[in-house]
């Protein structure tokens, strides 16, 4: 038994080492980055979607799509660029996939910290305003004739830029442990500057930010909020350090949303604000980068540009 165990361990270590050398060699020698990372979807991911009744299929990138992919990688902050060259195993674009994007461990033993990102191909054709408006509305029940609507104004930049920023931040987070990777509520852990004073645990916001309407939003409760409560929920959001409703779901998405919105607005000079309208008239506007509590967190983001 022991011999089999050691032999198995040896094979696993040899495979891991070979993969590591292969990835390092790829990072150092490839001149076709990031397009050299475009690959068919990992089988386990396709199987997962099929279990959910979906039939996703690989989207063949056109020349115009490839340009958008290159552009989305080119605008990433310097730290993202360095980490992704080493830790991004593959990217895949799928048609007929349920969510917008997902980042998964490529090395299931998690020793190498390499990752696959799978994107819904449709985002290649969407502006960030259209994408963000759609995403924001997935949290609201707009049936009935309330007269209320929610829109996000984020300019005409291709949505992939934002989605890649968000997913790539998950990779930087996992590689550098920007947020604790502890999910067991009973396990001990140490807060990081990204979570201290903002979160109690990975899905539990600090007590002072536990606000009534915010807790009823889809990203906190799992339920749709009637759209007529939209002004109230964004008023609540403005009393917290969270840059978006999605950011309130867990500490990993909080840092990903914070970096993505900061980079799009402050570095790429694009707009990003949510408006609630009643019968076409703006009744509330939430602009995350003007939220005083969000602003206090921005100094932490220097590390993405200076380290």
Q: Which residues bind Zn ion (CB under 5 A)?
A: 253, 256
Q: Which of residues 192 and 228 has its CB atom nearest to Zn ion in the complex?
A: 192
The residues, ordered by sequence, that sit 6+ positions from 127 with a Cβ below 8 Å of its Cβ are 154, 155, 156, 157, 158, 159
Residue nearest to Zn ion (CB): 253
Q: How far is the CB of 296 from Zn ion (least distance, A)?
A: 23
Q: How far is the CB of 162 from Zn ion (least distance, A)?
A: 12
Q: Which of residues 23 and 77 has its CB atom nearest to Zn ion in the complex?
A: 77
Q: How far is the CB of 174 from Zn ion (least distance, A)?
A: 11
Q: Which of residues 136 and 231 has its CB atom nearest to Zn ion in the complex?
A: 136
Q: How far is the CB of 246 from Zn ion (least distance, A)?
A: 8
The Cα 296–Cα 49 span in angstroms is 39
Q: Which of residues 159 and 256 has its CB atom nearest to Zn ion in the complex?
A: 256
Distance from chain centroid for Cα 205 = 18
Rg (the chain; Cα; Å)? 21
By CB neighbour count within 10 A (0-12 exposed, 13-18 middle, 19+ buried), where does 296 fall? exposed
Closest C-alpha to 247, from 188, 293, 186, 189: 293
Q: How far is the CB of 70 from Zn ion (least distance, A)?
A: 23
Q: How far is the CB of 249 from Zn ion (least distance, A)?
A: 9
Q: Which of residues 241 and 284 has its CB atom nearest to Zn ion in the complex?
A: 241
């Amino acid at each position: 038994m022991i011999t089999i165990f050691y032999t198995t361990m040896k094979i696993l270590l040899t495979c891991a080492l070979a993969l590591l050398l292969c990835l390092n060699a790829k990072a150092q020698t490839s001149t076709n980055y990031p397009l050299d990372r475009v690959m068919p979807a990992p089988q386990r991911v396709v199987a997962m979607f099929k279990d959910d009744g979906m039939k996703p299929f690989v989207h063949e990138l056109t020349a115009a799509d490839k340009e958008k992919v290159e552009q989305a990688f080119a605008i990433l902050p310097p730290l993202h660029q360095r980490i992704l060259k080493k830790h991004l195993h593959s990217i895949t674009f799928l048609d007929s996939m349920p969510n917008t994007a997902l980042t998964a461990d490529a090395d299931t033993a998690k020793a190498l910290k390499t990752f696959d990102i799978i994107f819904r191909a449709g985002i290649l054709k969407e502006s960030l305003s259209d994408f963000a408006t759609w995403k924001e509305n997935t949290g609201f029940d707009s049936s009935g004739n309330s007269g209320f609507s929610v829109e996000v104004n984020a300019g005409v930049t291709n949505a992939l830029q934002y989605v890649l920023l968000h997913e790539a931040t998950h990779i930087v987070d996992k590689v550098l442990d920007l947020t604790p990777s502890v999910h067991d509520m009973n396990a001990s852990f140490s807060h990081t500057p990204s979570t201290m004073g903002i979160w109690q645990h990975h899905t539990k916001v600090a007590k002072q930010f536990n606000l009534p309407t915010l807790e009823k939003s889809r990203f906190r409760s799992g339920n749709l909020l009637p759209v007529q409560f939209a002004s109230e929920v964004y008023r609540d959001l403005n009393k917290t350090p969270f840059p978006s409703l999605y950011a309130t779901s867990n500490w990993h998405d909080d840092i990903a949303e914070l970096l993505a919105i900061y980079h799009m607005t402050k570095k790429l000079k694009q707009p990003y604000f949510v408006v609630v309208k009643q019968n076409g008239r703006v009744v509330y506007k939430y602009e995350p980068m003007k939220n005083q509590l969000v602003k206090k967190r921005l100094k932490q983001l220097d590390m993405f540009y200076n380290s």
